[in-house]
Amino acid sequence: MTEVDELLARLRKLPAVALDSEFEALVHARARRRVRRRQAPFAPLAALALAVTVVLYLGWALHFTSALYR
Amino acid sequence: MFDRDVLTLLEQGDSRGFDLAYARYAERIFGFLLRLSGSRAVAEDLFQHTFMRLAEVGPRLRVDSDLRAWLFAVARNAFHSYARSACVRSLDMRADVEHFPASQGLGASPDAGLALDELERALARLSESDRELLLLFGVEGLSHAEVAAVLELEQVTVRKRVSRARARLAEALDGDARVVSKSTVSE
């Protein structure tokens, strides 16, 4: 094993640092309350509504125009 | 797979996703922040910020995101924002080394504990950029690609910088050893 690898292995052995249990529980509870379901994105719904409106308008315009020549 | 499950739960607004992420990453993120900042109070503030961000932004992350890398990136960016605003760069990082477990005698044996303690001290004396690289790659075991994502660098750059940071850590440890042997001889 090279010196560099030994050093890396030693770094990996550094232990995790324990959190104060009271602080840990407090942060956990506080952050947990903020989790919310992702909102459905607004843009696709708006685009669909616009497209439906345009189609309905064009249909009505075609119907109205054809009625003029009857 | 773990990250995907967590992110899927979060996307559905299921707080069990948060619980899983917290259980797995809380100590790792806190250790990273403590070793990076050298201050328990600062590490606690930044830790809280990181997990608040997870609760707020997590549901909007893509389910194939690398959650571990994302959390380290949030923690690291929070530290740099804090450092810029508080000018903590000039703090003496050696002051708070006693917070680390190796210094609290939690090592496997007294010798092992001492060796880890020396390592913590040498790590604390490195520059901030060297320290964060070695913490992410060495201590936390992130891959070069993950470190590159956290630091927003090219992988090639990360490899070079890690190599240089390792060399400087080795020098710092050698320096310590020389000081110890000199003081032993003079006694």
Structure-token match 């050696």, residue found: B94
pLDDT in tens, A34-64: 887 766 667 788 899 999 999 999 999 999 9
Q: How close A60 comes to chain B (CA, Å)? A: 41
Which residues form the domain of A29?
A: 3-68
- Contact of A30 with chain B, judged by CB distance below 8 Å, is answered with yes
Q: What span, in angstroms and rounded, lies between the C-alpha atoms of B76 and B13?
A: 26
Is the pLDDT confidence value at B163 over 80?
yes
- Asked if the C-beta of B28 comes within 8 angstroms of chain A's C-beta atoms, the answer is yes
B80-85 long-range Cβ contacts below 8 angstroms, 24+ apart: B82/B37, B82/B42, B82/B45, B82/B46, B83/B37, B83/B128
Question: Which has the minimum average pLDDT: A65-69, B16-20, B139-143, B180-184?
Answer: B180-184
Please, which residues 38-67 of chain A have a Cβ atom closer than 8 Å to chain B?
38
pLDDT band at residue B180, thresholds of 50, 70 and 90? low
pLDDT in tens, A14-33: 888 889 999 999 999 999 98
Pick among A1, A2, A6, A11 to test the B interface (most B CBs inside 10 A): A11
> pLDDT at position B176, please?
65
Q: Please determine, for residue B23, whether its predicted confidence score (pLDDT) is greater than 60.
A: yes
Chosen from A8, A21, A35 to mutate, greatest number of chain B CBs within 10 A: A35
Residue B181 has pLDDT above 70, yes or no: no
Provide the whole-model pTM: 0.76
**ipTM, interface predicted TM-score of the complex:** 0.74
Residue B112 has a pLDDT of 63
Q: What is the mean pLDDT of residues A1-22?
A: 80
Report the share of chain B in percent with pLDDT over 70: 79
* Spatial CA neighbour of B18 closest among A21, A38, A36: A36
For residues A7 and A1, the model is more confident at A7
| Count of domains observed in chain A | 1
**Are B150 and B72 in contact, with CB atoms under 8 Å apart?**
yes
